[in-house]
Amino acid sequence: MKKCVIVYNPQSGKLKKKQTLQTFYDILRNHGYETEIKYTARKKDATEIVKKLEDVDLVISAGGDGTLNEVITGNLARKKRLVLANLPMGTTNDVGNMYGYTKNNYIKNLELLLDGTKKTIDVCFINETPFVYVACLGDYIDMAYSTPRSLKEKYGKIAYVLYGLKQLGNKIHSYDIKYKIDGKSYEGTYSFFFITNASRVAGFNDVYYDIKLDDNKFEVAFCHVKNKAELMRIFFLVNNMDLKDVPGIVYHQTDNLEIEFLTPPKVSWCIDGEEYKSSKKKFSFRIDRDTKMMLPKENIVKLFEKKD
């Protein structure tokens, strides 16, 4: 039989019932897989687990977007990379939603990925740290990783709103930067920075209307807002139109980006929903094109250019 390893984050996931786990084993066996579940206990565990795996036919990340990031990070560190899949179990599940999974029906989602298609996806890097779908910086963005887990377990996505309301009195900072894309140099003052390879970010669907996950490109969006009224206006427009068409958004599509802050940012970057701390002023972004994922067939035509 083929071999499958499920890297399961019990903090993100909600597999409380032994019956559900047994159903997982049964479904995978019916698809020809002998399965082992490896549990994570702390941050970076998933990365270390995948690094140390013997050759297996499939590795399933069972958790949130952060768990998927750790699994992909571990895979990128291997000499021989493995085929991965995402079984979304987090609060927001931006990546899982984009891939075409159902909401919280884990058994159905497992069947979708096993009946899916193997695709090669682009993985982005910020200063040699991988991210799957988003690296962003600005005020309020820490909601993704600072919202207490107890709130998320009790209220789901609404927890982020509740936590964000506490920050409404905070000042919106802006940053003077120089940046280079495709050999051309620019400069400006911006409050928010989004480098993405996704059609869904922070619960917003169709942030971009035409995203391809295998085009060797990522999307860059910068904006400068002076107050909370302008910020709310941007949120409204992003919810109703393609981000690159929103007035006040500076947009680029590229495979390379260098940003230099004149002074170090006052807040951390957020990558795939987790905090990325750095005291550096310079950040470079690039793409790796050698990660294979099993994906549901639902959005394949929409998200990919190639028919591999």
Provide the pLDDT for residue 136: 94
Average confidence score pLDDT of the chain: 87
- 3-41 pLDDT, tens digit per residue, is 999 999 988 756 655 557 788 999 999 999 999 999 999
Q: Rounded mean pLDDT of 139-154?
A: 62
Which residue, 232, 228, 234, is CA-closest to 247? 234
Domain positions in the chain are 2-115, 129-289
- pLDDT category at 50 given cuts 50, 70, 90 is very high
pLDDT value at residue 155: 47
CATH topology of domain 129-289: Tumour Suppressor Smad4 (2.60.200)
User: For the residues of 66-95, what is the DSSP string, one character each?
Assistant: HHHHHHHHHHHTSSS---EEEEE-SSS-HH
Which residue would you say has higher pLDDT here, 105 or 60?
Answer: 60
d(C-alpha 108, C-alpha 116), whole Å: 12
Q: Tokens 């066996």 appear where?
A: 29
| Amino acid 160: pLDDT | 47
For residues 295 and 76, give the distance between their C-alpha atoms in angstroms, rounded to a whole number.
18
How confident is the model over 188-238, as pLDDT tens digits? 999 999 999 999 887 778 888 889 999 999 999 999 988 878 877 887 888
Per CATH, the homologous superfamily of domain 2-115 is Probable inorganic polyphosphate/atp-NAD kinase; domain 1 (3.40.50.10330)
2-115 with 129-289: one CATH topology? no
